[in-house]
């Protein structure tokens, strides 16, 4: 037969409090892990954008520079002027793609805000229970 709430000894009440506190801490840690995992996935995606942007810029440097420099030289520009113009354009494209990834990283915070809010609520609740 289960004891009624009023009939529980102080030791039983402390035992329940200890178990409940341990459960609460485990759940808070699990929530923090879940939240950080989701945020880390977004950060990884944005880092991939940066890597892809850098790769595209490099590939563009190899392929387009060679072709366009030759075309510009055939149109009457010197080799160095042709290479300079094409290099600036390709670098600008690479910069813009990399900026997209950097911008995405700046908007994603790794702070587990939901967990922090829950911990604040729990602390407020615990203070209310003491009074």
The rounded distance, in Å, linking the Cα atoms of 59 and 40 is 28
Contacts of 72 (CB under 8 A, 6+ apart): 81, 82, 85, 86
pLDDT tens-digit series, residues 54-104:
888 888 778 877 888 899 999 999 998 888 888 898 889 889 989 988 888
pLDDT tens-digit series, residues 34-64:
888 888 888 898 999 999 998 888 887 788 7
Q: What is the dihedral of CA 51, 54, 59, 64, to 10 degrees?
A: 150
Contacts of 122 (CB under 8 A, 6+ apart): 24, 28
DSSP string computed for the chain? -PPPGGG--HHHHHHHHHHHHHHHHHHHHHHHHHHHHHHHHHHHHHHHHHHHHHHHHHHHHHHHHHHHHHHHHHTT--HHHHHHHHHHHHHHHHHHHHHHHHHHHHH---S-HHHHHHHHHHHHHHHHHH-
pLDDT tens-digit series, residues 8-36:
888 888 788 888 888 888 888 888 888 88
């Amino acid at each position: 037969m289960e004891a009624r709430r009023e009939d529980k000894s102080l030791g039983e009440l402390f035992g329940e409090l200890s178990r409940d506190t341990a459960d609460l801490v485990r759940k808070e840690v699990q929530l923090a892990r879940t939240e950080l995992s989701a945020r880390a996935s977004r950060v990884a995606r944005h880092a991939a954008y940066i890597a892809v942007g850098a790769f595209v810029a490099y590939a563009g440097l190899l392929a387009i520079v060679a072709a366009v420099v030759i075309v510009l030289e055939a149109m009457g520009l010197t080799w160095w002027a042709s290479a300079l113009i094409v290099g600036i354009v390709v670098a600008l494209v690479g910069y813009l793609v990399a900026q997209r990834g950097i911008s995405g990283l700046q908007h994603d915070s790794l702070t587990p805000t939901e967990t922090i809010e829950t911990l604040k609520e729990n602390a407020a609740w615990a203070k209310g229970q003491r009074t």
